[in-house]
Structure 1
Amino acid sequence: MVISMDRNKLFWNTSFPSLTVCPHKRIDEVKVEYYMQRNKKLFPTDDIKDQFRNFIVKLADLSYDNMDDLPMNNTFGIPSSQYMDLLYDLKWSFEPEMSSGAAVRMYISETITEFGICHSVNSLVGRYNSYDYWKSNDWRVIDHGQRVTVHPLDGEIYAQIINLSTSYDVYFHSAGEIPDITKKKYTFPESDYTTVELVALEIFTDKKARDFTIKQRSCRFRHEAEDMMTVPVYSFGLCLMECRMKFTLKMCNCIPHFYRNRIRGGRVLPVCDLRGIACMASIKDEIIGMKFSSYEVDCNCHSNCDDSNFFVQTFRSRVWFLGANLQWGIIDYPKMQLRRNVLFSFADVLVYIGGLAGFFLGCSLLSFTELIYYFVIRLTRKVFCTRQSRDSSKKKKIVKVRFFKK
């Protein structure tokens, strides 16, 4: 396999950048009040009610880097297996509008990330981490439609999310990926109209490489998900997510609530309670940095065979009286694209060996086959036939001796 550069930019399309938006406001105060009214026995005093409000907000924002902020003194009678169900029932209705200048319509869908409940745009894998997909015990591959692409002749292409209604974090990534906790995030306030311009660098793999093993090409296609535990497709980000899940399960005997706890085969993993969250907080640096010195985890994570990387070139914000809006797009189209091609196949190796042998030795691959036949197969057959004839002659002599004795 070899990675080469393609500079014929007018002959290929460029993937439009996908993103994941994580709103800062995730809990609806009205729903929280209604929940406490239905469960008055669990909240007898105003002090306990205030503690629960603080607890549920911190739980909705929980990630590996802020686990120390979660209050650990009261569970409020909520089992850890119901954390995600409760967060979903009490979540704030985040319903922005989506528009784009691309020829293909883009969709925004809810997804559960390592940062909590977020929303992904133009994602081919985000819906596999949705609450509805988990609860329906679904393992089928979803048809997400076409990959959104643009061409240099299309000019400047933008997409925008309107009426965000809250401050938010944004993670830019490819359509076949999810946001990762180690990637850079961009935070924007709720009163700005923000425009982000990105540049792209893509790599695609030749279809002939599908006949090679994963070890030979050092990458995986999306359908090669036989090692995945929680999703029916593969991506590098999903693999890292499961790797962290395996490590927390080994170290703390549980997994965070923002992971799918039902894996292939029907096994249900325990969800971390406050004690488990405290355990994860003590090893959060190892989890985030993927430096599992205390326990070795076999992740077997390879890069995506077809992948897009997006880098923020510029972004600008201005005060907008109609609420938070986000606009992003590509202005400078990439002038280079990486391609992973097959340099030598098995047939090419045979041709090159035959050509070199004919040039230097004056023989062909058929000559090597004849030599193998003469020194191995023919010699073995001759030895075997000689030994067989000796055994048969011995048997004849024994029969003659017995005959004359009689």
Structure 2
Amino acid sequence: MPENTLENTLDKDNRFIENEILPNLQTRWRATLKQKESMANNYPNRFGMPTINAKSNAGKYFVEFASSSSVHGLNHLVARNRHPVEIVLTVFFVLGALLCLIILSSLFWDRYQNNATVIVVDNNRDEFEILKPALFICPTTNVNLTEIPGVFKKHGVEHTPEAEEFFVFLGNLTYENMMDVPIFDEVPADKWLEILYDLRKYIPSNMLKENDPYETWVVTERGVCFATRNIFAVYATLNYWKTDNWTIIPEPDKLPLYNYSIDGIQENVHVDHTVLTAIYDPFELITYDTAMKEMKQRTILGAIMSISEIKTKQNVKDLSVHQRKCKFFNDGGLKTWPIYTRNMCVMECRMKVIQDKCNCRPHFARPIGEDVSTCNAMQLRCIGEITKRLFLFETPPPSCQCVPKCNIISYHIKSSANAEIDKEYTKKQTSSSNCFRKQIPTTSSHITLIVELPQIIYYRSLLYSFTDFLKELIKISVNKFIAAGVGGAAGLFLGASVLSFVEIFYYSTVHLCFYMKQIKQRRSKKAIGTSCNVN
């Protein structure tokens, strides 16, 4: 404080009027207690404990930080007149507290990274919206023999017994029988899928009598199959692949839902061929290991279908995939599909193994360019030799990174009963009543599913967010002791807060730059003064 200002303050006896805050304690003492004639030279000149006099610039900077930091305990390291034992104890307790803080913070961080979500149960069935299942129908063998002459002519294939035998075998191809593929190279492999598509058996449209806009034929690992009520079926259609389409179809606003007010809901399906059927998630495609029920001709199947569902709340979307341990379809990440589902990921990983081992992609996989050819007959046999590496009925390896979907709906066939239609009984019934013949033709099969709607739904919800990681986890006891979280733990062990960490960052970055700049300026001034004295 300038002397003239001090004198004016003392003369006017105007304490803290012209200078309400006097940072220098000695000046403040003289200004407020002017009747005191003398003052000890060692009277403190600043708030807090007296500090040691460091010699180096780094030491001075540490003294400045430790003496002014809001982290309690650091000021004891730079206090004057401390016994060596006190210094050792101070260092010991500060380091111990810091270690405890690191351990506790790592536990909180691990919880945020690996246990951030929780599964909760909702039993408010009046608010449930249960999707009707998708239906996949895969005929076996899926070749209409009467269409062979016309289809061969259309694609320029010579109609020979070898060609007919080959495509009939191809229409019933599985991973198990690939070792027995006939050697046939008269037709390029990249044309096989189009020929099989034209040779497929007929299944009438509007099978479920609902005018389903998503009804289509899809290409699967079990050949060309008929799909209905499947939103993502378009991504596995031949036309989508041929046109090299990568368009993402928006999720529809209205989906086919079950009505809880209706009792005794049933699903009825008629098929005219021996087929494999799968009741499945409307937002998923089938893979080779999907559970399918074989329906032979002249068979009646009755079954009870139960439904379970796991949904994910919106507050979980902000978490990373590692934290929520699931993916939404718009998370992507696949190279051969525009969206993500677990089965799409499994099929892509399986095709990659085939590509690495047999240098090709099978005709029922989406082409990825001219660099990788479609497997010929010999290469299909190569696939048959490596089926044990294709995780057909196993969980895919971790390298595939196929995490579950965030929204999963499962349809389970709890119990079923088959009955074969007796020919003689059918003749007697049809002679007396034409109604029976109209309901169940003698050459077709009939499926009746009794639907049991769920009474509870599971939700994946946010349990521990990043805000929870930072904020105080309040624990109230008799004396209202407050602790926890990273901020609470820092306060508990170091007497610090979040502001203290900001302060540490500031002193290690911005303030350090200013301090180094000041040192350089002092050195330059000192050098100029020294040169002037020499001259």
1:252 maps to which of 354, 358, 377: 358
- Contact preservation (8 Å) 1:98, 1:106: no
Task: Give 1:217 deviation, angstroms.
Answer: 0.4
Q: TM-score, normalised by structure 1?
A: 0.84
1:85 paired residue number: 194
Could you tell me which amino acid in structure 1 is paired with residue 500 of structure 2?
L
Distance change in 2, residues 1:23/1:144 (3 Å) = farther
Task: Output the CA distance in 2 between the equivalents of 1:285 and 1:181.
Answer: 14
Distance change in 2, residues 1:37/1:192 (3 Å) = same
Task: Find out whether 1:157 has 2:265 as its counterpart.
Answer: yes
1:194 paired residue number: 301
- Contact preservation (8 Å) 1:10, 1:151: no
- Contact preservation (8 Å) 1:174, 1:310: yes
Task: Output the CA distance in 1 between the equivalents of 2:510 and 2:312.
Answer: 48
Task: Find out whether 1:305 has 2:406 as its counterpart.
Answer: yes
* Structure 1 residues 340-377: Cα deviation after superposition (integer angstroms, max 9, x where no partner): 0001112233333466896149x968951343355563
Distance change in 2, residues 1:253/1:351 (3 Å) = same
Q: TM-score, normalised by structure 2?
A: 0.65
Task: Find out whether 1:137 has 2:260 as its counterpart.
Answer: no
2:56 paired residue number: none
- Contact preservation (8 Å) 1:199, 1:312: yes
- Contact preservation (8 Å) 1:160, 1:326: yes
Unpaired runs of at least 5, structure 2: 1-116, 422-439
- Contact preservation (8 Å) 2:288, 2:392: no
Could you tell me which amino acid in structure 2 is paired with residue 331 of structure 1?
V
Distance change in 2, residues 1:205/1:71 (3 Å) = same
Secondary structure of the residue aligned to 1:27 is coil
Task: Output the CA distance in 1 between the equivalents of 2:501 and 2:156.
Answer: 87
Task: Give 1:10 deviation, angstroms.
Answer: 2.8
Task: Output the CA distance in 2 between the equivalents of 1:127 and 1:210.
Answer: 26
Task: Give 1:62 deviation, angstroms.
Answer: 1.2
Task: Find out whether 1:9 has 2:119 as its counterpart.
Answer: no
1:275 paired residue number: 378
Q: Which structure would you say has the larger Rg?
A: 2
Whichever structure has more strand as a proportion of its residues is 1
- Contact preservation (8 Å) 2:354, 2:360: yes
Distance change in 2, residues 1:322/1:379 (3 Å) = closer
Task: Find out whether 1:148 has 2:256 as its counterpart.
Answer: yes
Map 1:154-233; keep pairs closer than 5 Å: 154-162=262-270, 164-225=271-332, 227-233=333-339
* Structure 1 residues 59-114: Cα deviation after superposition (integer angstroms, max 9, x where no partner): 11212122133223x32x111111112212333333254235x8x95753111110
- Contact preservation (8 Å) 2:206, 2:212: no
Task: Find out whether 1:314 has 2:415 as its counterpart.
Answer: yes
* Structure 1 residues 120-147: Cα deviation after superposition (integer angstroms, max 9, x where no partner): 1211112211111111221112246333
Task: Find out whether 1:339 has 2:459 as its counterpart.
Answer: yes
- Contact preservation (8 Å) 1:26, 1:91: yes
Task: Give 1:253 deviation, angstroms.
Answer: 0.5
Task: Output the CA distance in 2 between the equivalents of 1:381 and 1:259.
Answer: 57
Overall identity of the aligned pairs, in %? 20
Unpaired runs of at least 5, structure 1: 44-48
Matched positions, count: 389
Structure of greater relative contact order (alpha carbons < 8 Å, 6+ residues apart) = 1
- Contact preservation (8 Å) 2:295, 2:445: no
RMSD over aligned Cα, in angstroms? 3.2
Task: Find out whether 1:19 has 2:135 as its counterpart.
Answer: yes
Distance change in 2, residues 1:291/1:317 (3 Å) = closer
Task: Give 1:183 deviation, angstroms.
Answer: 2.6
Distance change in 2, residues 1:355/1:184 (3 Å) = same
Distance change in 2, residues 1:278/1:174 (3 Å) = same
Distance change in 2, residues 1:41/1:51 (3 Å) = closer
Task: Output the CA distance in 2 between the equivalents of 1:307 and 1:345.
Answer: 23
Task: Output the CA distance in 1 between the equivalents of 2:294 and 2:460.
Answer: 35
Could you tell me which amino acid in structure 2 is paired with residue 228 of structure 1?
L
- Contact preservation (8 Å) 1:205, 1:339: yes
Task: Output the CA distance in 2 between the equivalents of 1:351 and 1:243.
Answer: 42
Task: Give 1:4 deviation, angstroms.
Answer: 1.9
Map 1:355-370; keep pairs closer than 5 Å: 359-360=482-483, 368-370=497-499
Could you tell me which amino acid in structure 2 is paired with residue 352 of structure 1?
E
1:115 paired residue number: 222
Distance change in 2, residues 1:184/1:32 (3 Å) = same
1:242 paired residue number: 348
Distance change in 2, residues 1:36/1:175 (3 Å) = closer
Task: Give 1:13 deviation, angstroms.
Answer: 2.2
Secondary structure of the residue aligned to 1:117 is strand
* Structure 1 residues 40-66: Cα deviation after superposition (integer angstroms, max 9, x where no partner): 9955xxxxx333222111111212122
1:46 paired residue number: none
- Contact preservation (8 Å) 1:17, 1:329: no
Could you tell me which amino acid in structure 1 is paired with residue 336 of structure 2?
T
- Contact preservation (8 Å) 2:214, 2:234: no
Task: Output the CA distance in 2 between the equivalents of 1:88 and 1:41.
Answer: 15
Task: Find out whether 1:400 has 2:516 as its counterpart.
Answer: no
* Structure 1 residues 275-313: Cα deviation after superposition (integer angstroms, max 9, x where no partner): 1111101011221437799xx883211101001111112
